[in-house]
């Protein structure tokens, strides 16, 4: 009889970039139950097709707010665990409310809780906190015309209130113990496995050192490269990438993944970079590409988290109107659907660049550090990504000089099985 696993991949876009690989491989040896939030019926059909209907059950979690959100998480996981005998629970972290309810119920039922890295780690937690809080404060400053210092204090207050609400007050209201712990996804402190997570799967030693420096016990971390690089997933990659929801007929197309265009600081935290600055720079990038590739289609894809109040179509209206080869894609389209048909993949420090660098040895993958933004140079030394610190270097780049690279491949399936076996073996010896 096969052991059972419950798996939550996080937001649906993280399922398609990372989670689906784990789900597919684990379902070959375990009975996997999948939990999805805010997914469409098309997502479920695609999952079943890719995994050849090996998923035992897929539960849909409704999207609620305030107390109803916590009640829903609590009740659905009590219901799921009552019907199953899971041995392992997987989620990207143990900090977000849904993940906490999952792992808390899993812990009560004797499960081993495993977190896994779902995106590229741009820096240490302190650096990420500085960047995210500063960008939020700048947004408030320019939207409401208040001083930056006041906006920063307001952001700290809001983050603290959200922390107390989701970790202390709301759980008590629905009859749960508060969620004590050193980490918080709202105040951007600590790391996964500082709550109910038992182990964290990281892509490499760089990420592992960041976690250990941040206070995570070394024994709680394990390095297993991204499942995209596993030998067993080579065919699966082809199958996944051929399932495209957007038809791009031009194999020489170019895709630009726009970051969440708001406000930020330059690297020295002295000069503000506005959305207009970013927009003008991206328009210049489009002009450069149009000159170099006059016959190619240039696709602009906004970030899934892009605010609705920022009308991207309006911001790029002039260049789209004047150029028949420039088109804007719906921000909620799956980013990986464009990989197979685009020869050039461009962004700033998006995770999609990291994924593309692991998948392709013959595409031009470019990271642009527009305006020397804070943490804008994270891909400076990453294999298979061409990093440009400014537009001048990018404009002078000879695209024909791009050469194939040797992609690393790993027996990830064995690494994962050995990892889970070691956990099971320890449990037997300690029982």
Q: How many CA atoms, within 13 angstroms, populate the side-chain half-sphere of residue 294? A: 1
| Three-state secondary structure readout of 99-130 | HHHHHHHHHHCCCEEEEECCCCCCCCHHHHHH
Instruction: List pLDDT tens digits, range 163-177.
Output: 999 999 999 999 999
In this predicted structure, the answer to whether residue 120 has a pLDDT above a threshold of 80 is: yes
Q: Can you read off the two tokens belonging to residue 143?
A: 């939207």
Instruction: List pLDDT tens digits, range 201-220.
Output: 999 999 999 999 988 999 99
pLDDT value at residue 267 = 73
CB atoms within 10 A of CB 57: 14
Instruction: List pLDDT tens digits, range 258-305.
Output: 877 677 877 776 788 887 888 888 889 998 998 888 888 888 888 776
Instruction: List pLDDT tens digits, range 58-85.
Output: 999 988 889 999 999 999 999 999 999 9
- Which range of 28-37, 253-262, 267-276 scores highest in mean pLDDT? It is 28-37
**How far does CA 36 lie from the centroid of its chain?**
15
In this predicted structure, the answer to whether residue 25 has a pLDDT above a threshold of 70 is: yes
Instruction: List pLDDT tens digits, range 321-370.
Output: 777 788 888 777 777 877 877 889 999 888 889 999 998 888 899 999 98
Q: What is the mean pLDDT of residues 371-391?
A: 89
SS3 state of residue 40: coil
Q: Can you read off the two tokens belonging to residue 245?
A: 């929801």
pLDDT value at residue 51 = 94
pLDDT value at residue 431 = 61
303 vs 326: CA distance, rounded Å: 17
254 vs 80: CA distance, rounded Å: 44
In this predicted structure, which of 26-30, 41-45, 192-196, 421-425 has the lowest mean pLDDT?
Answer: 421-425
What does the mean pLDDT of the chain come to?
88
Q: What is the mean pLDDT of residues 112-128?
A: 90
366 vs 427: CA distance, rounded Å: 46
User: How does residue 307 score in pLDDT terms, banded at 50, 70 and 90?
Assistant: low
CB 209 within 8 A of CB 202: no
pLDDT value at residue 228 = 93
Residue 122, CA distances (Å) to 105, 125, 183, 378 in order = 31, 9, 18, 6
User: Angle 34-19-91 (CA atoms, 0-180°, nearest 5)?
Assistant: 65
pLDDT value at residue 251 = 47
CB atoms within 10 A of CB 188: 18
């Amino acid at each position: 009889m096969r052991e059972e696993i419950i798996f939550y991949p996080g937001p649906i876009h993280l399922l398609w970039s990372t989670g689906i690989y784990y789900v597919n491989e684990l379902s070959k040896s375990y009975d996997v139950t999948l939990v999805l939030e805010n997914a469409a019926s098309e997502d479920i059909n695609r999952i079943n097709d890719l995994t050849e209907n090996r998923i035992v059950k897929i539960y849909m979690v409704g999207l609620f707010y305030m107390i109803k959100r916590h009640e829903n998480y609590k009740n659905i996981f009590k219901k799921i665990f009552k019907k199953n005998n899971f041995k392992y629970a997987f989620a990207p972290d143990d900090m977000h409310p849904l993940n906490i309810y999952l792992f808390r119920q899993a812990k009560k039922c004797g499960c081993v809780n495993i977190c896994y890295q779902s995106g590229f780690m741009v820096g240490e937690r302190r650096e990420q906190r500085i960047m995210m809080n500063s960008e939020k404060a700048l947004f408030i400053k320019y939207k409401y015309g208040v001083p930056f210092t006041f906006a920063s204090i307001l952001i700290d207050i809001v983050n603290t209130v959200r922390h107390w609400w989701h970790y202390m007050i709301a759980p008590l209201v629905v009859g749960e113990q508060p969620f004590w712990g050193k980490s918080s996804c709202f105040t951007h402190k600590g790391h996964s496995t500082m709550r109910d997570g038992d182990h964290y799967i990281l892509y490499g030693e760089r990420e592992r050192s960041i976690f250990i420096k941040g206070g995570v016990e070394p024994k709680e971390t394990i390095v297993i490269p991204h499942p995209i690089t596993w030998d067993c997933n080579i065919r699966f990659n082809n199958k996944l990438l051929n399932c495209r929801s957007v038809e791009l007929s031009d194999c020489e197309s170019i895709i630009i993944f726009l970051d969440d265009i708001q406000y930020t600081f330059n690297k020295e935290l002295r000069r503000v970079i506005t959305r207009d600055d970013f927009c003008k720079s991206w328009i210049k990038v489009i002009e450069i590409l149009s000159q170099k590739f006059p016959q190619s289609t240039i696709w602009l894809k906004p970030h899934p988290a892009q605010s609705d109040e920022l009308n991207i179509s309006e911001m790029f209206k002039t260049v789209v109107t004047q150029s028949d080869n420039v088109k804007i894609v719906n921000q909620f389209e799956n980013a990986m659907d464009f990989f197979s048909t685009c020869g050039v993949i461009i962004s700033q420090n998006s995770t999609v660049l990291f994924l593309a660098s692991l998948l392709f040895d013959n595409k031009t993958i470019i990271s642009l550090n527009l305006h020397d933004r804070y943490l804008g140079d994270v891909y400076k030394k990453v294999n298979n990504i061409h990093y440009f610190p400014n537009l001048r270097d990018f404009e002078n780049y000879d695209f024909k000089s791009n050469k194939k690279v040797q992609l690393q491949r790993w027996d990830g399936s064995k690494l994962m099985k050995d990892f889970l076996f070691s956990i099971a073996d320890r449990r037997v010896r300690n029982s």
